[in-house]
A = this chain, B = another copy of it.
């Protein structure tokens, strides 16, 4: 599954804004590992550096030292394939009649094609294939003498998921779609303002006071402080429930709820919904560990680690092929036989996407002597394509797509299988100010996708 991107921005005259952005992006690395970029505005000039790779690979001391200015924005992009994908790296920088303008985007539009057709009718053109450039162009071509006007008008035309940080010569903006689909928070430290996809990027920088950018808000940060310049309200809100399950860092607080605790609770409720008598509870590390702890507590079954995950798998690892192919999953997840041997085991994970790895793990555990394996998933069956931030190309490969629970269980090879209900998941998170987007489980989306 592809991850949502990570975005960051800082308005900090006198601060080393590029360096702070570097650390911020580093804390958001989990949201995108394909490419990383930072754009810095020194007023009249703008500097941009973006390349393929992890934050720590893309930047070095010389590059960070060279990015001087008073405002910076940064972006981590999720992985795709193809040699030309540098083209789609962000931030995007545009040179316009109002000066330079840089944008970093997390989310996916639902009406990209319609917007493109409109811009095409004006004979506008694009340098990338991303919807992020469409957003930038819609803003840039909007009438108005100020960026405030342009942004306000433009977002009325955008349908879908977008959390944005926007930088102009002297201002920083935080923008979030009216449904509040992707997270976005901001904080203040001394006289600087910082925006990030997740609160963990702020707490990592020592900023413990932060607030959400509310759905539909456009907030401006500049020398005069912060100002909410528009608030595009909507009756409906739809925060992506998958952020709690998978995308966000465990130490982030989304809508007032700590992600880690939501995951532990999900495990607890899962144990209530799908109780099972077993000798022990293990997790698929690290994704299932928090839910497994919750499951164990609720079911009074001991939690222990039964699979050791390798920390060294990287892009340059030579994959085992041919006769050695079966080593693949084993090199990543190795079981502790003495723990699992002749035991009835509950295996907890956060979700199942294609099911290939899960099936491989079950096989390894069985081979290691496990007697019964009860697979418990701390989220509902993943069935729907998500056009609001997750790679939509391959949803036909989803194991839960057009399969019954029994079929899934057989394909995976476990002895019993239980998914958390949507109701249970919502209960695990607790009451927040917004509704959820649960499209990936229900095919019920806040907006419809326009081809």
Question: Which A residues are closer than 8 A to B by beta carbons?
Answer: 16, 19-20, 22-23, 26-27, 29-30, 47-49, 54-57, 59-61, 63-64, 66-67, 82-84, 87, 92-97, 101, 120-129, 136-137, 140-143, 200, 203-206, 208, 249-251, 253, 258, 260-261, 264, 289-290, 293, 297, 302-305, 308, 310-314, 316-318, 320, 324, 326-327, 330-331, 334-339
Which B residues are in CB contact (< 8 Å) with A337? 203, 208, 258
Q: Is the CB of A141 within 8 A of B124?
A: yes
Smallest Cβ-Cβ distance to A137: which chain B residue: B125
Given known A-B contacts A83-B49, A121-B97, A125-B96, A289 and B318 have beta carbons under 8 A apart: no
Q: Point out the residue from B92, B123, B293, B335 that lies within 8 Å of A304, measured CB to CB.
A: B293
Question: What are 25 pairs between A and B in contact, CB < 8 Å?
Answer: A20-B324, A26-B312, A29-B310, A29-B312, A47-B82, A47-B84, A56-B312, A56-B317, A57-B316, A94-B125, A95-B127, A96-B126, A200-B334, A204-B330, A205-B327, A206-B326, A206-B327, A249-B308, A250-B305, A250-B336, A260-B336, A261-B336, A261-B338, A293-B305, A297-B302
Closest chain-B Cβ to A92's Cβ sits at a distance in Å of: 7
Q: Is the CB of A126 within 8 A of B320?
A: no
Bound Cα distance A316, B57 (Å): 6
Bound Cα distance A249, B260 (Å): 27
Which B residues are in CB contact (< 8 Å) with A141? 122-125
Q: Is the CB of B126 within 8 A of A339?
A: no
Q: Is the CB of A250 within 8 A of B125?
A: no
Q: Is the CB of B126 within 8 A of A95?
A: yes
Bound Cα distance A26, B312 (Å): 8
Q: Is the CB of B83 within 8 A of A101?
A: no
Q: Is the CB of A251 within 8 A of B95?
A: no
Smallest Cβ-Cβ distance to A20: which chain B residue: B324
9 A-B pairs with the lowest CB-CB distances in the bound complex, closest first = A97-B120, A94-B125, A251-B308, A96-B125, A258-B338, A125-B140, A123-B141, A56-B317, A95-B126
Bound Cα distance A280, B389 (Å): 37
Bound Cα distance A311, B312 (Å): 10
Which B residues are in CB contact (< 8 Å) with A320? 19, 23
Bound Cα distance A225, B128 (Å): 31
- Chain A: interface secondary structure? mixed
Bound Cα distance A134, B343 (Å): 49
Bound Cα distance A54, B311 (Å): 12
Bound Cα distance A302, B87 (Å): 49
Q: Please name 13 further chain A to chain B contacts, defined as beta carbons within 8 Å, in addition to the given A49-B84, A205-B327, A251-B335, sorted by A numbering.
A: A22-B318, A47-B82, A56-B312, A56-B316, A59-B318, A95-B128, A125-B136, A206-B327, A251-B334, A260-B308, A261-B338, A293-B305, A303-B303
Bound Cα distance A330, B101 (Å): 32
Q: Point out the residue from B121, B203, B313 that lies within 8 Å of A334, measured CB to CB.
A: B203
Q: Is the CB of A318 within 8 A of B56?
A: yes
Q: Is the CB of A310 within 8 A of B27?
A: yes
Closest chain-B Cβ to A57's Cβ sits at a distance in Å of: 6
Which B residues are in CB contact (< 8 Å) with A206? 326-327, 330
Closest chain-B Cβ to A337's Cβ sits at a distance in Å of: 8
Which B residues are in CB contact (< 8 Å) with A297? 302
Closest chain-B Cβ to A450's Cβ sits at a distance in Å of: 18
Q: Is the CB of B19 within 8 A of A324?
A: yes
Smallest Cβ-Cβ distance to A47: which chain B residue: B84
Which B residues are in CB contact (< 8 Å) with A47? 82-84
Q: Point out the residue from B95, B304, B314 that lies within 8 Å of A264, measured CB to CB.
A: B304
